[in-house]
Structure 1
Amino acid sequence: MDTRELEGFLAQHAPFDSLDAKMLRSVATAATVITFPRGEQILDAFTDPTNAVFIILSGRVDIWNDADRLREAADESLSAGELFGFSAMLTERSVGPRAVAATPVTIARVPAAAVAPVFASRPGARFLAETLLSTRHQALAAPAYSSVEELITTAPLTVEPTTPVSEVARLMTERDSRYAVVPGPDHTFGMVTDSILRRRVLVEGLPPATPAREIMQPATATAVVGESAQEAQITLLDHGSDFLVVTDRAGELRGVVAPRDFAVSPSTAGVALNEQLRRAGTAEELDTLARQAPKMLADVLGRGLPSGRVIAVYSSIVDTIVRRAIQLTFQRHPDLSTEAFTWLALGSNGRREAVLSSDVDSAVAFVDGTPPDEITRYRAVFAEVDEMLVGAGLMSDDHGASARRTLFARTNADWRAQATRWLAAPTDGNGAMMTSLLVDGRPVHGDTGLPEVARVFSDLRRHPGTMRLLLQESLSSRARLHSMRQVLSRRNDTFDVKTYALVPVVNIGRWAALSVGSAALPTTERLRVAAGSAMLPRSQASTLIEVFETLQRLRLRYQLLQIREGIRPSDVLVLDRLSAIDRTVIAQAVREVSSIQRRMANVSNYVPTADWSSTDGL
């Protein structure tokens, strides 16, 4: 096949079919055409990363995407027009695949220097995103955790606030960019994107002379150089944004990254699965994709990602499953609007601490003025959402906190009024328990601001009686190795790590954050912001943080082992299955937490309530 014939062939197959004549010619000219007999290995990118892309001109090639399954049947068989090797080339890492000629085959090998510009173009990036996000290519997105600035591939396009949108559109087209950044005062940034231009100019008919500041949207998803790519990914997913603005520590713009940058980056951990979940078209597809989460968690944990970040990734995945379940369910009820309510994740997922045994607790805040009979209709649909979540493998407690229950589905005004009553009289209507649930609330659909109920409880310090009662409630779950029932029945071979070790730390963190007026959600962050008070000296806060992180890591490892053995994940550890070191760690952790609980109880008896949150420490 000569160069001209190769040009014609490439022009018929993605991503080369969108290239202009000049770029197409450069790719064809740089290519080397090679033939392979049946059974011959063409590429083993698990051993060495390739610096080229391979395009099949004729024949079929068997592909293995998983290094652990090379002795099994091929994962897929590619035919003429398809390509492989691009993931290893782009990441410069040994991430596969292995390719073997299934029939006599002819290949065009294109070196990286010639083909890289193809993938940098918008059509090429779209091809990569769609390919790498497909289920069969998940193994290609092998993570190696780097910093967020390593994802920046080009200098950001910036425009002035006064730039007419016609000029913004021209610059975006010229730079082949899907966005333009609009710098604002005090290191703030706005974004003009393709979708905004289409909606505001083409659909709404704004004149071309409209300044950029009138159509831009605030860049809510931001990251700072030095942050891990994993943290940046979580930020992007939490905000559901199309772009993430990256700044230096002084607030100056450094670049912009998008989900597709993670999809082709060695920094990926979970973003591919998240993107697939976001696009799930049916409940069955959502179910199938959601059940891949444990394998992905085991993989990234095994590759060295800290357990705390692995758990944060899982919480983001649960958020995505919940959002998509809401969307798919309400598609069956077009007469009800998803804009009428905010869905709050409660409990461990609200704190971004969900593990495989965690229940999906929820509450809903309706816009004020929503009629009671309409709320009843919504609650019936929320029950369908719960059913879809259970179908996707998430845990649910029929008697727990759920938006389908009247107690957890109210208007914003009702939540505000009820929280005020709980603050004044926490013994009424299970006020202390409801407070503990609601202050962990985090919006995952709807209004992303601080929930009304959380705003009310930020005033806890002005209610010393309630403050004392909530402390007593927080300390009521004591850390201990065995319950009295276990001792009496001589059944001391198991240990509920959640009930007797983690919940006491979570309760202390929640109360401590309330006592200093912090809206922080993760337990470790709550302990950090409250550290140094009379009730929680810094040394003891540090101890609790270490204990929590250690036990969460052990808990996650144990649950992944249960999943691998086909056992429903649980918080009950079988002590005989733990190593001697792990058993010692648990015993020491429980002793540390119990000691801190006793000290807090003593301080509450002898130190005035007004001095509990004093930063003088003890």
Structure 2
Amino acid sequence: MKNTIAERIADFIKNFPPFDQLSKEDVYTISKEVNITYLEKDKNVYLANDAPHDRFYMIHKGAIALKQNINSKLETVDRFDEGDIFGLRPLFANENYTTDAVTEEESILYGIPLSIFKPLISQSREVVDFLIQSFASNTENPFSKEMYGSLYDDDLDAVTHEKELFELQPVRYTKKVITAKKDTKIKHIGQLMRQHRIRSIIIEDANIPIGIITDEDLRNKVITGEHTIEDSADHIMSSPVLCYPKGVSISQAQLTMMKHNISHLCITSDGTPNSKIIGVISQQDITVMRGSSPTVLMKAIKRSKSTKELKHIRKRIMVLLEGFVEQNIPLTQTSKIIFELNDATVKRIIERCILKMGEQPPVSFAWMSLGSQGRKEQLLHTDQDNAIVFENVEAEELEPVRDYFLLLAKKVNKRLNNIGFDFCPADIMAKNPKWCLSLDEWKLQFDHWTSNTGDDEILLSSIFFDFDITYGDAALTNQLSEHIFKITKNNHSFLFKLGASALRSASPLGFFRQFLVEQDGAYKDFFDIKKRAIMPIVDAGRLFALSNQIKNINNTAERFEKMAELYPEDEEFYLSCSYTSKALLKFRTKHGLLHNDDGRFIELAALTKEEKMKLKRCFKTIAKVQELIKLKFNLNNFM
């Protein structure tokens, strides 16, 4: 006999995460055991310090506020509405609740029993990720090992995605390894290779790799007459064998082969030559695998002979980025790879433009990428932000030298625009004479910005302080960087104004957990993720880097990770800031790829419940970091 109540519950919860990741059968199994509770307004679901319940809750109708005692005052720290889950603490630890859960209106709650739910989700990474992020809404570190360990074993973390991605996916190695002993005659080695149609033989002792013979060894060491086919294998084998554990990425394997000029790797149980042989990888294995390789793209960039070629390669880079996002590759790895490809593209354009100039640069110079590219955070097609610094020259030589670099910059900026990097609307590009300066001129410019600081100076500082050399003489950019830290050290007035600027974008959430959206214009009712979320966390990272003299780190996530090292007592908080910066960038990238734009404006109606939850948790971190800025820089009266 059907349980109609359970079916109604299942029909509701299957539409919301994490239940949308479970099978229909599992959802129904859970629904049969759900406890339904009706509560009037201002009633407690549980109170802080209450013993944990045997279930967590989903809101069918109504709204719930989490309240916490802060400085002897009960304050709302989070709110939940239809389809949200809360009360997850018993799922992770047998600890008392730390907040009050109170109804803000009449509410109907579904109580999900832990005894039924937990066994069904212990092998689902997607469900576990969602639960951890939900619980982390009121903790600093969203992916602590303790949380993961409470739901599944560490081994699950190594499970790869069903749809594999080139370069960062594990190599598909050959498991049937043909081996021989070191005293096997070379002619028998050749016969084995012909018989099995293979290009290498692992030489082993007790199934431990002690050497490898390839067809190249036969050509170079036997056919040349250096050794005879009657000699033993140990005369021509290469030893020791380069070994890796299973799971080695294509990128790592390929780089190792290139570095050591070899064509084969051995896979062993622990990744060393002292353990059991379980497979072998050849260059041929990698070549035949599907997908676009960053290594191939990098070679194509370096070999390119025209802007048209680079434009085509740029499209392939975007396909690669889309694959990384689809496969949920960690943003740290994704950013580094895309940055290197973008950087190499700009460098190649500069190289070709110098050739077209018909003469070499008159003095040393450096091409600086600014803003998001300078922070290694430019993933999508966004505006150009760049500048040139050149070596100091005598006064009478200054303008002729500048003219050369302005003409060069004009050519470079034009070609960057042609391949997809739009011109900067504010003209912050190297072709602008204001941003094509000698080293001393740049130092004077930075002196002005940090001593005569108005809104315009703060805006320019926020762009130009995040620079990275793309091409040229690093000594120039190093000197410029040293000068910046020199003039900002203990410059309390400038840091105060920089801090005030970082607070101009208030919390992205309005009343009752609603997103603050654009009120008019082309993007009315859209959410500006750059202005309201990404820039506040970027500004905070820059401010902390300058005030703590953190040198040679421009990336926002890495700046906060360095802060976590400098202030271990606040490590969890700063790591949450690092996570937030990466999560927001990934979110923007994902939506930019989806809509083929820069991802800045988000249509809220298109967001899933899970996406909104993730964003709101990031916003809470932004609010906390802004409170810290107020405290550290005496800005409590600013907002």
Scaled to the shorter chain, the TM-score interval is 0.5 to 0.7
Whole-angstrom distance in 2 between the partners of 1:151 and 1:498: 36
Identity of aligned residues (%): 17
| 1:594 has 2:626 as partner | no
Counterpart in the other structure of 1:337 = 361
Query: Which amino acid is the alignment partner of residue 199 of structure 2?
Result: A
Equivalent in 477, 482, 485 of residue 505 of structure 2: 477
Residues 376-395 of structure 1 aligned to structure 2 (within 5 Å): 376-395=403-422
CA distance in 2, matches of 1:498, 1:384: 30
- Which residue of structure 2 lines up, in the alignment, with residue 328 of structure 1? 352
Please state if 1:152 is matched with 2:256: yes
Task: Give the Cα separation in 2 of the matches to 1:155 and 1:373.
Answer: 44
Picking from 561, 566, 569, the partner of 1:528 is: 561
Runs of 4+ more than 6 Å apart: 119-122, 259-268, 482-485, 488-492, 532-536
Q: How many residue pairs get matched?
A: 384
2:370 and 2:259 map into 1 onto residues whose CA distance is 40
- How far apart are residue 435 of structure 1 and its match? 2.3
Structure 2 equivalent of residue 112 of structure 1: 199
Does the 8 Å CA contact 1:441/1:451 hold for their aligned counterparts? no
1:127-146: CA deviation from partner (whole Å, max 9, x where unpaired): xxxxxxxxxxxxxxxx9637
Query: Out of 453, 458, 481, which is 1:432 matched to?
Result: 458
Matched letter for residue 464 of structure 1: H
Shift of 1:454: 1.9
Task: Give the whole-Å Cα distance in 2 for the aligned partners of 1:113 and 1:572.
Answer: 54
Structure 2 counterpart of 1:570 = 599
- Equivalent AA in structure 2 for residue 113 of structure 1: S
Alpha-carbon distance, 1:366 to partner: 0.7
CA RMSD, Structure 1 to Structure 2 (Å): 4.1
Find the partner of 1:544 among 559, 577, 586. Answer: 577
Amino acid at match of 1:391: N
Counterpart-to-counterpart distance in 2, 1:120 and 1:408: 60
Matches within 5 A, 1:298-447: 298-337=322-361, 340-369=364-393, 371-427=398-454, 430-447=456-473
CA-CA distance at 1:446 after TM superposition: 0.6
Q: Alpha-carbon deviation of 1:322? A: 0.5
**Cα separation, partners in 2 of 1:118 and 1:376, compared to 1, 3 Å:** same
Query: Could you tell me the TM-score, scaled by structure 2's length?
Result: 0.53
Q: How much does 1:455 deviate?
A: 1.2
For residues 119 and 552 of structure 1, what CA distance do their matches in structure 2 show? 49
Rounded Cα–Cα distance in structure 2 between residues aligned with 1:362 and 1:512:
23
Q: CA deviation at 1:339?
A: 6.1
Contact 2:384 2:423 in 1 (8 A): yes
Query: By how many angstroms is 1:597 displaced?
Result: 0.9
Distance 1:434 1:376 in 2: 23
Give the equivalent residue in structure 1 for 2:494.
466
**DSSP-derived class of the 2:474 partner:** coil
Change (3 A) 1:350 1:117: farther
Residue 609 of structure 2 is matched in structure 1 by: 580
Task: For 1:305 and 1:484, locate their aligned partners in 2 and report how far apart those are by CA, in whole Å.
Answer: 30
C-alpha change, 1:489 and 1:466, in structure 2 (3 Å) is closer
Deviation at 1:269, TM superposition (A): 4.7
1:507 aligns with 2:507: no
- Cα offset, 1:337, TM superposition: 2.1
Deviation at 1:538, TM superposition (A): 3.3
The letter of the residue matching 1:410 is L
Instruction: Report the Cα distance in structure 2 between the residues aligned to 1:341 and 1:271, rounded to whole angstroms.
Output: 28
2:453 counterpart SS class: coil
SS at match of 1:152: helix
CA displacement 1:533-585 (0-9 Å, x = unmatched): 799943432221121121222222222222xxxx3333111122221110122
Q: How many Å apart are 1:490 and its aligned residue?
A: 13
- The amino acid that maps onto 1:111 is I
Give the deviation of 1:332 after TM superposition. Answer: 1.4
Alignment of 1:171-250 (within 5 A): none
Q: Which residue of 2 aligns with 1:276?
A: 300
> How far does residue 471 in structure 1 lie from its aligned partner after superposition?
1.5
Q: 1:491 to 1:351 in 2, by over 3 A?
A: closer
How far does residue 479 in structure 1 lie from its aligned partner after superposition?
3.8
Unaligned regions of 5+ residues in structure 2, if any?
1-161, 164-168, 176-193, 202-212, 221-246, 263-282
Whichever residue aligns with residue 479 of structure 2, its letter is E
Residue in structure 2 matching 1:92, options 145, 167, 173: 173
| SS of corresponding position for 2:357 | coil
Q: Return the offset for 1:358.
A: 2.6
- Partner of 1:399, secondary structure, is coil
Per the TM alignment, residue 502 of structure 1 is displaced from its structure 2 partner at its CA by 0.6
Residue type of the alignment partner of 2:464? L
- Opposite residue 503 of structure 1, the aligned amino acid is M
Letter in 1 for 2:536: P
Cα-to-partner distance string for 1:475-506 (whole Å, 9 max, x where unaligned): 22334247978357997642121111011000
Query: Quick one: distance in 1 between partners of 2:197 and 2:376?
Result: 44
